[in-house]
Amino acid sequence: MVQIIIYKPMFGVLNTPLPIYEYLLFRQLSRELLVVCEEIIASLENADFDLSFIRFLKARALSENSEKLEEAKALFELVFSHSKEGTEIYCESLSYLGIRQINSGFYREGVENLKIALEKIDLYDLLEKSQRIRELRTHVLAIVRTVF
């Protein structure tokens, strides 16, 4: 897996490593993230390399563009359907698929996927293993509460 992490504190207040993709999304630089993801996929698609996480990041970048929501949703579905149950990428892709479904007006399907993702996070005890999953769970809970 390719993972680029910024270790230098940013803005004088960040004392934990920040993945570059989180920085790009935070700074609303999704186009740049999309370009990087597409370049990585193009250069490694014929290699024996699991590109699930890169495709997941591409879907996150696409989902920032209102004209690309359907493409993002399809990519989240692809990543989810090819992920092993109980893994971080499984829970993340299912969660973001649910979020995209809700944003596209498919509330019932979206909320159902978010509930399943929350159950899987708890079932596989992913909260203890990953800060990213803890943050995702908080985000998903806030969305579920907003919808109801």
User: What is the structure's pLDDT at 57?
Assistant: 96
What's the domain range around 41? 5-147
Pick from 37, 21, 38: which is nearest to 29 by CA?
A: 21
Q: What residues contact residue 114 under an 8 Å CB cut-off, 6+ apart?
A: 95, 98, 99, 102, 140, 143, 144
In the three-class reduction of DSSP (H, G, I as helix; E, B as strand; rest coil), residue 5 is classed as: strand
CA atoms within 13 A on the CB side of 134: 5
Summarised one tens digit per residue, pLDDT across range 15-49 is 567 789 889 988 999 999 999 999 999 999 888 88
For residue 14, name the pLDDT band (cuts at 50, 70, 90). Answer: low
φ, ψ (nearest 5 deg) of residue 71: -65, -40
**Residues sharing a CB contact under 8 Å with residue 83, sequence separation 6 or more, in sequence order:** 52, 89, 90, 93
Task: Say which residues have a Cβ less than 8 Å from residue 99's Cβ, sequence separation at least 6.
Answer: 63, 110, 114, 140, 143
In CATH, what number is assigned to the domain containing residue 63?
Answer: 1.25.40.10
Total number of domains constituting the chain: 1
pTM of the predicted model over 0.75 = yes
Q: What is the dihedral of CA 69, 118, 3, 44, to 10 degrees?
A: -50
